[in-house]
Amino acid sequence: MSGMDLLNVYHLQIITFMAVNSILALSFYLPLSAGQLSLGCAGFMSIGAYTAAILSLHYGLPVFTTIPAGAAAAALAGVLLGFPALRLTGVYLAIATLGFGEVVRVLFLNLKITNGALGMPEIPNLNDYFSALYRSWGLQGDLAGLDLPRLAALTTVVFCYFVLAACVAFVLRQENSRTGRAMAAVKADEVASGVMGIGATYIKMLAFVQGAFLAGLAGAISAHVTNFIAPGDFNYHRAVNILLFVVLGGSELVWGGLLGAAVLSVLPEFLRFMQDFRWIIFGALLAAMMVFRPQGLLDRQLLCRFSLRKKRAMDGMDARASSGEVD
């Protein structure tokens, strides 16, 4: 197999979905880093996807305005849901947000503008957008051995990873900031964080809305990658799948969710040759994970072992891990 065959559109699309799933993992991780288990990601994702689809199909808006609009719409929904839902904690919040996702799904299933169960076909595609862009630059044939469709697909990949990189940079930067510390404090002990002068309600709302924004962003991008969306794409399975990214990858660290998203995007494709049996294998792998590494693939200790330059940090972290604290 030559290098060019690897870059076929099918492979490129999987690589694109890895980026979209990674953004979804971040959208689950953010509320969790402030102590909230939210299963609303699929719902927010669908709001982002449908907003982007409707704006581009019915109003002819360009892709680069519909994607931010989708994210913003999801964030707005996050604010509206946050006011009642953030009074809940733990498993109650999980159930409420899961319920929210179902409500949104049923809503899209019955609205006229979303075309109900038939879904929305022919959403303007990022590949087509980039193709048209290159053509308008006068590019007709091959460039460096790549034909136009491949070049456009490759540009879509680069675009998605650029967005992902921006999201990761934001989350990492925030973690080391005053706000990030406040989130960690709220997660550890809400009363203690209040005594520190942290407005827990505000911090929880902030994390929740940021998560909604990212889920909406991922949804809008995916709508412009797949051409077609239907309410069934954003059901309960999607919500659980996003949860799995973070649980499997490791919920202590940003990198855990990203790793989990990458693994769970690629694994079903590798197992494709087993046809329907692949879901059995998939389930068995997950069950094995929970038995042998319940904290996820990545945890602080493992990360420290990999980063040699942070010798001092490692000493601290090892002590932290050996103390076996769970908070």
Partner 1 sequence: MLELIDVESYYGNIRVLKGISLRVPAGAVVTLIGANGAGKTAALRAIAGAVKPRSGKILFEGRDITGLPLHAITRMGITMIPEGRAIFRRMSVEENLEMGAYSRRDREIARDIAMIMERFPILKERRAQPAGNLSGGEQQMLAIGRALMARPRLLLLDEPSMGLAPQAVAEVFHIIRELNKQGVSILLVEQNARQALKVSSFGYVMETGRIALSGESAKLERDSRVVAAYLGKRA
Q: Tell me the window of 4-12, 116-124, 169-177, 318-326 that interacts with partner 1 (CB under 8 A).
A: 318-326
**Residue 77 to residue 81: CA distance in whole angstroms:** 6
CA atoms within a 13 Å half-sphere pointing along the CA-CB vector of 316: 4
| Binding residue for partner 1, selected from 80, 195, 240, 280, defined by CB under 8 A | 195
131 neighbors 148 (Cβ within 8 angstroms):
yes
Enumerate residues 6+ apart whose C-beta is below 8 A from 119.
228, 229, 230, 231, 232, 233
Per CB under 8 A, does 117 bind partner 1? no
Per CB under 8 A, does 199 bind partner 1? yes
**Residue 59 to residue 53: CA distance in whole angstroms:** 9
As measured in angstroms, the least distance from the Cβ of 48 to partner 1 is 32
Amino acid identity, position 67: I
Burial 271-301 (b: 16+ CB within 10 A, else e): beeeeeebeeebeeeeeebeeeeebbebbbe
**Residue pointed to by tokens 């973690």:** 175
The interface mask with partner 1, positions 237-266, x = CB under 8 A, is ------------------------------
Residue 297, helix vs strand vs coil: coil
Per CB under 8 A, does 194 bind partner 1? yes
Per CB under 8 A, does 302 bind partner 1? no
Provide the β-strand partners of residue 143.
146
**Residue 21 to residue 307: CA distance in whole angstroms:** 25
Per CB under 8 A, does 198 bind partner 1? yes
**Residue 48 to residue 20: CA distance in whole angstroms:** 12
Closer Cβ to partner 1, 87 or 237, answer by number: 87
Q: Tell me the window of 112-120, 138-146, 193-201, 208-216 that interacts with partner 1 (CB under 8 A).
A: 193-201
| Binding residue for partner 1, selected from 1, 91, 144, 319, defined by CB under 8 A | 319
Per CB under 8 A, does 86 bind partner 1? no
Neighbours of 31 (CB within 10 A): 30
As measured in angstroms, the least distance from the Cβ of 3 to partner 1 is 45
Amino acid identity, position 309: R
As measured in angstroms, the least distance from the Cβ of 308 to partner 1 is 19
Per CB under 8 A, does 92 bind partner 1? no
Q: Tell me the window of 43-51, 59-67, 183-191, 239-247 that interacts with partner 1 (CB under 8 A).
A: 183-191
Per CB under 8 A, does 5 bind partner 1? no
| Binding residue for partner 1, selected from 134, 139, 161, 201, defined by CB under 8 A | 201
Per CB under 8 A, does 182 bind partner 1? yes
Of the candidates 309, 295, 306, the one whose C-alpha atom is nearest the C-alpha of residue 260 is 295
As measured in angstroms, the least distance from the Cβ of 31 to partner 1 is 18
Tokens found for residue 237:
């399975």
**Which residue ranges make up the site for partner 1 (CB under 8 A)?**
178, 181-182, 184-185, 188-189, 191-201, 312, 316, 319-320, 323, 325, 327
